[in-house]
Chain A
């Protein structure tokens, strides 16, 4: 049995892998949010009882969304290789992982967003309609603003989910914490690296979750309730 990896090396492994994870997850979260929110808004607007009901369109969009959500990420990762190459000019490395991560997360965010927007009470939405507000204004000032705390939480949930997905990034050489735990830790029987990574992942996800919860609460005007 060989001697354990020195702690200083473990730390530098962790630092590098954390950078890769945050890069992959951060960029893909931004993209997934940028596309997922419009998808969710569209799903909600076209839903029965929505502001622009369109049953057929709603069902088609819903079907595509759910199809996207049901795809195992590892399959998406390899299936999208050619698309990835087209977009980022290569199919391996951290940047290449961003494409399947984002694509996988858009329908996920879309459904979350739609569920959240549907919680805005119909009386509140109709009251805005009677003020003569345009649909765009209602989406922005009513649906999204009223749901902001829940939306921020949903983005937090997405980040955590994407950290989970990104563990498979090693398959196409993306690196990151999951990859570190699997290749350097598990496959090479290096318990120190494996368990250090596990512990660090726990800390990292807790911190991220905490950050989003705080931000959500800060955006919520209902917390001032005195009754």
Chain B
């Protein structure tokens, strides 16, 4: 696991990081998101031990690694596998040769090195590209080799800095799958710095939102989507656009967030049945966070017991985020 404590860093008087505190549990994926200039890159460079913070600590399995030098620093660097932003492979080495680089640095002998490289090529699904040079690989394949290289020396933390920024959506999927496999099969703790909420949607357990060098939101993705005011929920959930004329035909209009198969599948029909109300989905939609289906619907209700129905939905695990028509703040 990795914890970042009160990290600050400024460049020529400009504060890039203003006391950033994060923790990522072992074997989970944290997405660090935020607008350009929020300090994401600086944070990534500090965690990659390419930049020394002005103050604060970065602990990997309890040990602060911010103040090391020489061989201790190099050993700490092997604890943190880094997938850098942009093209980072040696163009004069094969895919296998690139993956072997951290193993050479660690002084691992040839035969063991070859075995390990083979395992990693298998993990990223590029065994047939072992002898290919980076120029013969596609962008997504190069990025998967970069992930394999980052994992080569068995790091406890994998840091990926904008791993999908230069890729098309389809290729992005293959790179994210590889990151997810790294967590699942190697138990590595993953920290992904990204501007792309799609990355959070697909593989992150936790999310931290960075703004102006501060963490303004940090928690489990599935918890944050239930929070109507959170940045994460507005970024991840389907939008609820609606024709206003449509709304006027209902007694009650409310937004509700449903998480999980059971809630999404059964809650609404059940509520309509129990309280004998007419319950229509008038906006919003369904999405997936990792493997979990998540919906944000705008509901239109007609019937005397509409308020009771909404209350029941909220008690049964659906988050009624706001009531747009009728009594305000129903079980908000």
Q: What residues of chain A have their CB less than 8 Å away from a CB belonging to chain B?
A: 121, 123-124, 126-134, 137, 141-142, 145-146, 148, 220-222, 224-227
Contacts and interface: CB of A to CB of B under 8 A. Distances in A.
A222 B135 contact: yes
A126 B75 CA distance: 16
- Interface size range of chain B in the complex: 35 or more
Nearest to B45: A126
Given A131-B149, A134-B105, A227-B135, A126 B91 contact: no
Nearest to B102: A131
Given A130-B77, A146-B92, 9 more contacts: A124-B90, A124-B91, A130-B84, A131-B105, A132-B105, A133-B101, A137-B104, A146-B91, A226-B136
A222 to B, nearest CB: 5
Nearest to A121: B87
- Which 8 pairs show the lowest CB-CB distances between chains A and B? A127-B88, A131-B102, A130-B82, A225-B135, A132-B77, A132-B78, A133-B105, A132-B74
Interface in B28-82: 48-50, 74-78, 80-82
Contacts of B77: 129-132
Interface in B128-153: 133, 135-136, 138, 146, 149-150, 152-153
B128 to A, nearest CB: 14
Contacts of B90: 124, 128, 141-142, 145-146
Contacts of A148: 92
Given A133-B74, A222-B91, A127 B153 contact: no
B153 A225 contact: no
A96 to B, nearest CB: 40
Nearest to B77: A132
Contacts of B85: 123
A129 B84 CA distance: 11
Nearest to A128: B101
B91 A130 contact: no
Contacts of B136: 224-227
B50 A129 contact: yes
A127 B146 contact: yes
B80 to A, nearest CB: 7
17 contacts: A123-B85, A124-B90, A127-B149, A128-B90, A130-B48, A131-B77, A132-B74, A132-B78, A134-B74, A137-B104, A141-B90, A142-B90, A145-B90, A146-B91, A221-B93, A225-B135, A227-B138
Given A121-B87, A221-B135, A222-B135, A130 B50 contact: yes
